[in-house]
Amino acid sequence: MTGSPRSRVLLAAVVIALLVIGIALNFTAPIPVKESPATVGPRIPEKDELAAWYCAEGTSTLDGRADETIYVANVGNEITRAVLTVFAGAEQTPKSHSFDVPRKSLRAVRVGDVLATPEPGVLVEVLGGQAVVSHGITGNGDAAVGPCAREPASRIFFGGATTAKGASLWLALFNAFDDDAIVDVHFLTDKGPEAPEGLQGLIIARRTRVTVPVHDFARRDNLVSAVVSVRRGRVVGEQTLALDGTDGRKGLAMTLGTEAAARRWEIATGLITSGRSQTLSVANPGAKPALVRVSPRLYGDASVAPIDLLIPVGSVVPVDLSVLPPDIGFSLKVRANSAVIAETTVALVAPKPSNEWAIASAVGSDRGARRWVVSPARISATSSEIVYVLNAGKRPTQVRVRVVGRGAIKVPVDFVRKFKLGPGKRRVLDLANVVGATALVVSGDGELIVEREAQSIPGETLAAAVPGS
């Protein structure tokens, strides 16, 4: 070792100080979550950006299990041009449909009207304006709507579904590119990890969508979380759960996979009441057990202690939300000492009549944003929409809500467009009487989480809005 004795002493002091700081941080604060790049996950495109959106799940034949519709919402002040391409496999010529979307307007296109095929993979490319692309599916007496993906991923995670009796679980993997992809699919379950031989080295051919019937590989698991690892190529993944009522829940839920596990998750949607249940599952894809704390924020007079969990390696566990008081809204803050995935499922159940039963699920948000787009503003003319705005930051934030639309828009006089949210506080926006809107733009000067829940007869849908970059 070279250098003077004094320099060596200073160096040693610096090293010791860094070690002490590191140990202190390790024991007094959660390890910071590495933020994903702006291009990962759905996001609002920049003005005049050529944006690609990948919609993996859905069917387009008359006998399909999940009839698909694409929604293109232009929230900008300039016209946008969209090209919707439906891929039907490497050996078949894809079919495209081009159309303009005027400023502040919405276009809906049923995929089956472009190309009827059992395994459609949909690519939507938009240029000009600021367009957000989402899609909806209908089937099993239910409906689901959520944003499409902006980028393929090297790994895709889902938080927790089920393959118990009465459940069908479908994993849609879409390769929109000109080279074949190879993936490995394994499952985290309530009994531990599973890696079915038939799903290792699975080829997703170029310009092809492949649907994996998870229930045929992970059989009779109360909770199952899919993890897709891409060996080669590029893939987008979505998942659909169908329940037939055996466990008291019935309907169809669609979930967009997340590209990364995280130590932090936020879920803004929360309410348990007569005819509405809600569950939370947390999956651990890591190489060591995960210590997890779920902190419910109650928006009423009651309070409840945090829920602590130890999740074994390769497992997914349920979080007991029955300890929460009924009829009081809540949000969920999830923190862990290693990366996990948190997903919530909402169900409309008895004593509602069985023709109103429905389910919906969504992975939480691992980071906040200052701007979000809810699109479409209304699922249908008869649906009832609720938008949850949560301040997940540590400071109060001013929030502004802009109703976007072209032509006659009806907004109730008591609809609040500006408000202040304290740390951990939530505002619920009721869109039931908002008529003629294309989308909702929610913005603020702090770390916001925005989610939308919609109900119709039949139908229940839940998804995070699309954040800004």
Closest to 316 (Cα-Cα) out of 337, 292, 332, 333: 292
Q: Which residues pair with 467 in a beta bridge?
A: 372
Place of tokens 């980071």: 367
CA 100 vs. chain centroid, Å, equals 28
- Which positions ≥6 away from 378 have C-beta within 8 Å? 385, 431, 434, 435, 437, 454
Closest to 273 (Cα-Cα) out of 228, 318, 224, 322: 322
Task: State the pairing for strand pair 208-213/418-421.
Answer: unpaired
Question: Cβ of 308: how many Cβ atoms within 10 Å?
Answer: 10
Task: State the pairing for strand pair 262-267/384-391.
Answer: unpaired
Token output for 31: 């390890």
Q: What is the dihedral of CA 9, 10, 13, 18, to 10 degrees?
A: -140
> Which H/E stretch holds residue 428?
strand 426-430
CA 339 vs. chain centroid, Å, equals 17
Q: How far apart are CA 73 and CA 120, in angstroms?
A: 21
CATH architecture, domain defined by 51-147: Sandwich (2.60)
* Cα R_g (the chain), whole angstroms: 23
- Which positions ≥6 away from 34 have C-beta within 8 Å? none
Residue 146 CB-density burial (10 A; 0-12 exposed, 13-18 middle, 19+ buried): buried
Q: How far apart are CA 223 and CA 355, in angstroms?
A: 26
Digit-by-digit pLDDT tens for the chain (469 residues) are 444 444 343 334 433 333 333 333 332 233 333 334 333 579 999 888 899 999 999 999 999 999 999 999 999 999 999 999 999 998 899 999 999 999 999 999 999 999 999 999 999 999 988 999 999 999 999 999 999 999 999 999 999 999 999 999 999 999 999 999 999 999 999 999 999 999 999 999 999 999 999 999 999 999 999 999 999 999 999 999 999 999 999 999 999 999 999 999 999 999 999 999 999 999 999 999 999 999 999 998 888 999 999 999 999 999 999 999 999 999 999 999 999 999 999 999 999 999 999 999 999 999 999 999 999 998 887 889 999 999 999 999 999 999 999 888 899 988 999 999 999 999 999 998 898 899 999 999 999 999 999 998 678 999 999 998 6
Examine residue 306 and say whether the peptide bond preceding it is cis (omega within 30 degrees of 0): no
> For residue 469, what pLDDT is reported?
62
Q: Which residues pair with 54 in a beta bridge?
A: 123, 149
Task: State the pairing for strand pair 142-147/80-87.
Answer: unpaired
Question: Cβ of 12: how many Cβ atoms within 10 Å?
Answer: 10
Q: How far apart are CA 210 and CA 218, in angstroms?
A: 17
Do 51-147 and 155-256 agree at the fold level?
yes
Q: How far apart are CA 137 and CA 58, in angstroms?
A: 6
* Domain range annotation of the chain: 51-147, 155-256
3-state secondary structure of 466: strand
How far is residue 418 from each of residues 75, 267, 392, 444, measured CA to CA in Å?
19, 22, 18, 10
Instruction: Report the amino acid identity of residue 66.
Output: A
3-state secondary structure of 341: strand
> For residue 47, what pLDDT is reported?
82
Task: State the pairing for strand pair 397-404/418-421.
Answer: antiparallel
CA atoms within 13 A on the CB side of 227: 19
> For residue 246, what pLDDT is reported?
96
Q: What is the 3-state secondary structure (H, E, C) of 116-157?
A: CCCCCEEEEEEECCCEEEEEEEEECCEEEEEECECCCECEEE
Place of tokens 């190879």: 182
CATH number for the region 155-256 comes to 2.60.290.11
